């Protein structure tokens, strides 16, 4: 990771697996690799606000709203919310977020979870969708949980280019 040097930096928030135990050593390793851990905070890069909310706070509506309100988003400027799970879309939209980037679903990874994920997250389980004024992109990611395999879903690393 240290050899990857994007012009505006690399940013990270925790997912559910990082929060199973004390993530301190894990987060220190990520920071030492040159990736900035966003601890429920906003950074502004070239006129773009990026807010990172850790998983445990992003799935608790009152915490998500509190973090977003405390971030001081400028509704006149584009913003990205990094939140591991595609939860809290109504709150993100109400607080003026332009684009939410999430993962968590693994695209279902294998049957019957592909069906279950669609039932729980509906159209927000995968891909680019709209929720009111909010755009939401959910990636199936490249990792797995449980069995190290995928059936009916593809792993991916997504490159998003802004103009």
Q: Is the omega angle on the peptide bond into residue 112 within 30 degrees of 0, that is, cis?
A: yes
| Predicted pLDDT of residue 16 | 67
Q: Can you tell me the mean pLDDT for 135-158?
A: 84
Q: What is the residue-wise DSSP string for 108-120?
A: GSSTTHHHHHHHH
Residue with the two structure tokens 């807010």: 51
Tens-place pLDDT, residues 65-122: 999 999 999 888 999 999 988 989 999 999 999 999 998 777 766 677 776 777 787 8
Task: Please count the CA atoms within 13 angstroms of the CA of 101 that sit on its side-chain side.
Answer: 16
Tens-place pLDDT, residues 10-36: 999 987 677 677 878 888 999 999 999
């Amino acid at each position: 990771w240290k050899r990857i040097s994007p012009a505006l930096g690399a940013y990270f928030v925790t997912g559910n697996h990082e929060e199973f135990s004390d993530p301190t050593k894990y987060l220190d390793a990520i920071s030492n690799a040159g990736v900035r851990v966003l601890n429920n905070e906003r950074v502004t890069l070239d006129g773009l606000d990026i807010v990172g909310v850790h998983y445990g706070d992003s799935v608790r509506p009152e915490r998500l709203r509190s973090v977003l309100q405390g971030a001081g988003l400028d509704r006149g400027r584009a913003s990205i919310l990094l939140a591991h799970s595609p939860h809290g879309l109504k709150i993100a939209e109400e607080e003026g977020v332009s684009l939410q980037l999430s993962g968590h679903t693994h695209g279902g990874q294998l049957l019957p979870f592909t069906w279950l994920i669609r039932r729980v997250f509906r159209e927000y389980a995968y891909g680019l969708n709209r929720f009111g004024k909010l755009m939401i992109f959910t990636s199936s990611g490249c990792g797995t949980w449980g069995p190290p395999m995928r059936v009916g879903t593809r792993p991916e690393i997504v490159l998003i280019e802004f103009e």
